[in-house]
Amino acid sequence: MKNKHIWLFTISLFLGVWIFGQTKDIPPTLINTATFDIPEKKEPKTYALRVGLDIVKPINSQFNSDFQGLELVGDLRLNRRIFVAAEIGSEKKTQQSELINFTTSGSYIKVGVDYNFFNNWKGLNNALYLGLRLARSLHTHTVNSYELYQLDQYLIETTSEGFLVGEREQLSNGWIELIFGTKVQLLPNFYAGISARLNILLSNPQPKNFGNLYAPGFNKITDKNKFGAGFNYTLTYSLPFRFRKKKD
């Protein structure tokens, strides 16, 4: 009886080792996943809407009596790389150009995408990105005064009356912006950002008896140069959200 138990134990041991060895050689795709794996519960995709403002324009408005401006910014995170972004703003600026003093007032909108190529540590949402915007302004120029040309330049006469003084027709400029920027998380859901922008003018309509010298959102315009530059410094707040799946 004792020898019988020993043989049964030995056969069982070898049989177990053989079965274990055969199981290791089976490709993972042939193993019944319903038996060996517990299906993972997929979390719903998380989006984030970030809104805020460019603080450069309000600060400039406080210290420069010839400028008033405000820009609101926002972006929607589709995934960790792609963001749909937009800016909308308004400006009113008075400036002197050679012999003419004029005021430009109007609004603008910029829409495009940002690509974040920064690899965050887990739990962080900082960004180092490249962006592209399509932009359009709607604005008017008002000539406030101009200097009369005289042969004797020792005496300069300025007039605020005459056929040149007054508001010109409404204009609309279009341009694209190439952007390089960064956004850093300061507090939970609270971000600071800075970006440099290269503007390329696409359309430049000219008002009657006057040049189109400035466009809100684009800055200074010259006849011989279709390029401009700018920057902004933003403070934004992020609002994460998810879409609920409909129950069958």
Q: 5 or 128, which is more confident?
A: 128
What's 12-26 look like in SS3? HHHHHHHHHHHHHHC
DSSP-derived secondary structure letter, 57: H
Whether the per-residue pLDDT at 228 is higher than 80: the answer is yes
Q: 226 or 22, which is more confident?
A: 226
Give the confidence band of 165 by pLDDT, cuts at 50, 70, 90: confident
Look at 80-94, 127-141, 197-211 and tell me which has the smallest mean pLDDT: 197-211
What are residue 195's DSSP bridge partners?
A: 181, 232
Q: 161 to each of 41, 123, 200, 209, 210, how far by Cα in Å?
A: 75, 63, 36, 15, 16
Q: Mean pLDDT highest for which of 97-106, 159-168, 195-204? A: 195-204
- DSSP for 65-104, please give it: TTEEEEEEEEEEESSSSEEEEEEEEEEEEEEEETTEEEEE
| The predicted structure's pLDDT at residue 4 | 46
Inter-residue contact 141 to 213 (CB < 8 Å): yes
Cα distance between residue 108 and residue 92, in whole Å: 12
Give the confidence band of 132 by pLDDT, cuts at 50, 70, 90: very high
| The predicted structure's pLDDT at residue 5 | 47
What are residue 206's DSSP bridge partners?
A: none
Whether the per-residue pLDDT at 200 is higher than 60: the answer is yes
The chain-wide mean pLDDT, for the chain, equals 81
For residue range 1-39, list pLDDT tens digits in order: 444 444 444 444 444 444 444 444 445 444 454 444 555
Whether the per-residue pLDDT at 126 is higher than 60: the answer is yes
Whether the per-residue pLDDT at 162 is higher than 70: the answer is no
Q: 244 or 8, which is more confident?
A: 244
Mean local confidence (pLDDT), 234-245: 83
Whether the per-residue pLDDT at 46 is higher than 70: the answer is yes
Q: 159 or 67, which is more confident?
A: 67
For residue range 63-117, list pLDDT tens digits in order: 999 999 999 999 999 988 999 999 999 999 999 887 788 999 999 999 999 999 9
Inter-residue contact 106 to 135 (CB < 8 Å): no
Q: Which of 80, 104, 82 lies closest to 91, judged by CA?
A: 104
Here the tokens at position 127 are: 């960004």
For 204, residues 6+ apart whose C-beta sits below 8 A from its C-beta are 173, 212, 221, 226
For 202, residues 6+ apart whose C-beta sits below 8 A from its C-beta are 174, 175, 176
- pTM score, whole prediction: 0.75
Question: Rounded to a whole number, what is the distance in angstroms from the first to the last CA of the chain?
Answer: 63
